[in-house]
Structure formats: C-alpha cells, structure tokens
Amino acid sequence: MDIDLQLVFYHFYQLGIAFVLSLPIAYNREHKTDGAGLRTFPLVAISACAFMLVGREVYQDGEAEARVMYGIITGIGFIGGGAILKNSKQVAGTATAAGIWLVGALGVTVAYGRYEISIVLCTLGFIIFQFAGPMKKRRAQSERGE
C-alpha cells in the first residue's frame, strides 16, 4: 500500500481551509455563548469536509456522493439540535445550531473546491453573528421600554 504524499498534502490543504474559515464564527460563538465555540465549529467544518472528500474519492457517481452529503446534513442537524435548549419561557441556541449547520456546509463546499462559496459562507455567517445579536438585544430592550 503506497501513500500518495501529494494527495495527503492536498487534503491537508483542503481541511486546513475548512478549519481556518470556520474560525471567525467559532471565535464569535466562543465569546457570546457558553456552548459550542472554538472546538465545536472547526471540528464540524473539517469533519464535514473529510466525509465529503472520502465520499468523492470512494464513490465515482453523483448519486452516491449525494447520499454522503445527505448523511452529513442529517448528522450536523442532529448535532445542532443538541445545541438548542428549551424551557417553558424561551428557546436558546437556535443561532448556534444554525451556525453549526453553516460550518458543515462550509466544509462540504471546501471538499468540492468551491472556495468562493466557502468564503461567502464564512463572511456572511460572521457578519450575522457579530452584528445581528446586538441589534436583536437593542430591539428587545426597546420593546420592553428600557
């Protein structure tokens, strides 16, 4: 069994891109919530990327690759569901769950070499987390008359 070092470095490169692009969102969540953050988001991104890379290498037809992607989407939805907490008065963690799904999509797009989509996902996700949260808090305060 020979190991193709060029392929190893290429996959390391792709997983590295998924890792780096997940960091702005992970950093924001680390400082805004007590749950998922600098460990969870990069792990989801590189895992989704890795599963899709394997699926692309092992299965040469689009239908099998699509099934791998469906499995990734379902699995990430399950992980995100664990981030949602509900009590009698409120639901928390839905944004974090959506962010987990977003970095999963980011990982899949990297696996397909669609770096432009990955960069857009990273940028928009970070902007939403960075600026929509404070806007939401201001709106809630104005509704309460504070």
Q: What tens digit of pLDDT does each residue of 29-58 get?
A: 888 766 778 999 999 999 999 999 998 888
What's the average model confidence in pLDDT over 76-95?
Answer: 79
The rounded distance, in Å, linking the Cα atoms of 126 and 105 is 14
* Whether 32 contacts 133, CB under 8 Å: yes
pTM of the predicted protein model = 0.83
The domain tally of the chain equals 1
Task: Annotate 71-100 with b (16+ C-beta within 10 A) or e (fewer).
Answer: ebeeebeebbeebeeeeeeeeebebbbebb
Q: Is 14's pLDDT higher than 80? A: yes
At 59, the pLDDT band (50, 70, 90 cuts) reads: confident
* Whether 56 contacts 65, CB under 8 Å: yes
